[in-house]
Structure 1
């Protein structure tokens, strides 16, 4: 009986040891990195974080003609970095608030770097520097123009926003509703069907005390202007953005 119990214990230990055997597959360690720039200006493509920003879809064709998509997102400044990719041949399709790009086949092994030149749906640019007013509001000027000559992507604007946040991650994914200013077409001096001409539109936007006054103490706030048109991709109506402005709101006297 003791012998049978001993054999049973040995078998159990062997079973546990086999179950704890390490996976023979190596961890993904190839790197795909790069950036998106505006085709006509060479400036970094400004975008959001997450699903309303840049999505990079990778289809690994090394093992299947119909693979499951693997998606990851770019950063706010249009750069991307992923160092957890298995080696192989991929079909890569980026998407965002720009004229669509065709799928490209890439062999990912080691470090692959790629620069994408894209035509944004909208160019959104600051004009000059923000002005801090005596009533502790802030005034900005921006210019919105189309980024492509293709009439398919020159559609009416549906909304623009002066996004305001207490942190540097500012955009439709992170903003304070207390300070952010939302403009519909009428508030931009447009109709719902207005097509911008080549000169675009210049807007002057001031933060409003009607929302909520900035706090009495000194604090830095982060501002970013975004606009979107009727163009949507993947059922998502994305913003095009300026870069970020930092403004120190002084202590109230």
Structure 2
């Protein structure tokens, strides 16, 4: 039996043609902080542009899902609560990405071991000036950004050079002032920044800010009585058992804050060196 192998070669010729198109314009809008959360996996919520709002840190954090706060009125530190837990090891609280490990104890008079009815407070918290606050990111759950934390993390970002300088300018100023009643005194902040462009699309910037405010616990409650007129009622009979009022002079905050930042950035990288000073007398 003979076999015949037939090979066939099929040649295909391609015809190349040139076509002219009109110019194509592509538009894109920059995503805001709150919109970026929808592109991430996990339970993450954010608020940005806080330096132009008058809300308190309490209102800002508590408006985010699963988040709560406690502010120590004697010290001014902010303790973030996520899903019922708070404190170091439970919620990783950061300022500009740096974990805060502050733990404070205070009383309105005498000392911590004074058992004569003086008000004593102690808590983990973060010393943060609201006037310098630019944005906050809350991440719930023990994953990615929640390093060394059980319930999640909270990162407070302070203002930077790019928050003060806008529209490609080389010099900028940002200021704010507010005043409230019922124990909330004046609050003010001023920040100045400059940016210098270098070669290769890089730049360096410097920012300095100063902030101060006054707040006291000598406020009026719902019945119209001031805190300083209150007496301690231990057995719940409606009578002041110790016959003394809270020393509101020791529960008055007058914090002063300094913020200094140096920034270098290019198309791919950014390095920021920051210094913060907080005093509360």
Superposed pair shares fold, TM > 0.5: no
Q: What is the TM-score normalised by the length of structure 1?
A: 0.26
Structure with greater Cα Rg = 2
The structure with higher relative contact order (CA 8 Å, sep 6+) is: 1
Give the TM-score normalised by structure 2. Answer: 0.24
